[in-house]
Amino acid sequence: MKAYFINSYGKSDVLISGDRPEPVLRDDDVLVQIHAAGVNPVDNKIRDGEFKLLLPYKMPLILGCDLAGTIVRVGARVRRFKVGDEVYARADDDRIGMFAEFIAIREDSLALKPVNLTMEDAASIPLVALTAWQTLVEKGQLKKGQKVLIHAGSGGVGTIAIQLAKHIGATVATTASAANADMLKGLGADIVIDYKKDDFSTKLQNYDLVLDTQGGDTLKKSLNVLKPGGKLIGIAGPPDPDFARLRGMNGVVRLVMRLLSYSIRKAARRSGASYSFHFMTASGQQLSEITRLIEAGHIRPVVDRIFPFEETKQALDYVETGRTKGKVVIKVR
Threshold 0.85, pTM exceeds: yes
pLDDT at 121 exceeding the cut of 80: yes
- pLDDT above 90 as % of the chain: 90
- pLDDT, tens digit (0-9, with 9 covering 90-100), for 2-50: 999 999 999 999 999 999 999 999 999 999 999 999 999 999 999 999 9
Q: What is the mean pLDDT of residues 154-158?
A: 97
Question: What pLDDT does residue 241 have?
Answer: 83
**Is 294 a member of any domain?**
no
Confidence tier at 52 by pLDDT (50, 70, 90): confident
45 and 136 in a single domain? The answer is: no
**Which SS3 state, helix, strand or coil, does residue 172 take?**
strand
SS (H, E, C) 202-254: HHCCCEEEEEECCCHHHHHHHHHHEEEEEEEEECCCCCCHHHHHHCCCCHHHH
59 and 138 in a single domain? The answer is: no
Residue 158: CATH number of its domain: 3.40.50.720
| CA–CA distance, 149 with 216 (Å, rounded to integer) | 16
- pLDDT above 70 as % of the chain: 100
- pLDDT, tens digit (0-9, with 9 covering 90-100), for 288-309: 999 999 999 999 999 999 999 9
Q: What is the mean pLDDT of residues 81-90?
A: 98
Residue 117: CATH number of its domain: 3.90.180.10
**Which SS3 state, helix, strand or coil, does residue 98 take?**
coil
Quick check: bond before 60 cis, omega within 30?
yes
pLDDT at 92 exceeding the cut of 90: yes
Question: What pLDDT does residue 244 have?
Answer: 79
Please give the residue range of the domain that contains residue 174. 127-277
- pLDDT, tens digit (0-9, with 9 covering 90-100), for 179-214: 999 999 999 999 999 999 999 999 999 999 999 999
67 and 183 in a single domain? The answer is: no
150 and 260 in a single domain? The answer is: yes
99 and 143 in a single domain? The answer is: no
Question: What pLDDT does residue 36 have?
Answer: 98
220 and 145 in a single domain? The answer is: yes
Is 191 within 8 Å of 174 (Cβ atoms)?
A: yes
250 and 137 in a single domain? The answer is: yes
Q: What's the domain count of the chain? A: 2
Q: What is the mean pLDDT of residues 67-73?
A: 98
